[in-house]
Amino acid sequence: MLATPKKFFLTAAAAEGYSELTAFDNALLAGRIGNINLIRVTSILPPSAEYDPDLQIPPGSLVPTAYGYIYSDVPGELISAAVGIGFSADTFGVIMETAGYCSKDEATDKIESMLREAFASRGMELKEIKTAAVEHRVEKVGCALAAVPMFY
């Protein structure tokens, strides 16, 4: 059985590389999560998890992370990624992520809309939203990434 994460932060970063993989890796590094092993998870933030924007995760750790990303190798193309967490008053939170060919503001608006829908679908009251987003104008091979790493 895996432990339930106790802390989290939001990050969004973009970077260039010579390939899609190196652009992704450079975006991870820019977002402070390049030296950990991401375990991709879906949309629920544990009820007791605390926001820690300065959270330091030891290199090589296995880290449950909700994330979205996009690559492009079209110079001049605008790409964006965003992540958001909706918080309830007394129970778990909901995480949403998106990435696409749009502005940072458009990605953030989409996240907020998805969070409102997710809470309505669950019959829960949405108390607060936290988001992180980034946009990037591609030079050669670019990647935009947004993530919510959760740690113990």
Mark out the alpha helices in 1-150 (DSSP H runs): 20-30, 104-122
Domains of the chain: 7-151 (3.50.20.10)
Q: How high is the mean pLDDT of the chain? A: 97
pLDDT at 137: 98
pLDDT at 82: 98
Residue 121 has pLDDT above 90, yes or no: yes
Residue 147 has pLDDT above 80, yes or no: yes
CB contact set of 117 (below 8 Å; sequence gap of 6+): none
Q: Using CA atoms, how far apart are residues 138 and 26, in angstroms rounded to an integer?
A: 14
pLDDT bracket for residue 2 (50, 70, 90) = confident
- β-pairing, 7-8 vs 141-151, is antiparallel
pLDDT bracket for residue 1 (50, 70, 90) = confident
Residue 142 has pLDDT above 80, yes or no: yes
- Stretch 46-60: mean pLDDT: 96
Q: Are 16 and 29 in contact (CB under 8 A)?
A: no
- Tell me the pLDDT tens digit for each residue of 66-112: 999 999 999 999 999 999 999 998 899 999 999 999 999 999 999 99
Residue 116 has pLDDT above 90, yes or no: yes
Residue 19 has pLDDT above 90, yes or no: yes
| Among 12, 7, 61, 9, residue whose Cα is nearest residue 38 | 61
Q: Using CA atoms, how far apart are residues 33 and 11, in angstroms rounded to an integer?
A: 9
End-to-end alpha carbon distance in the chain? 14
Length, in residues, of the chain: 152
Q: Are 11 and 56 in contact (CB under 8 A)?
A: no
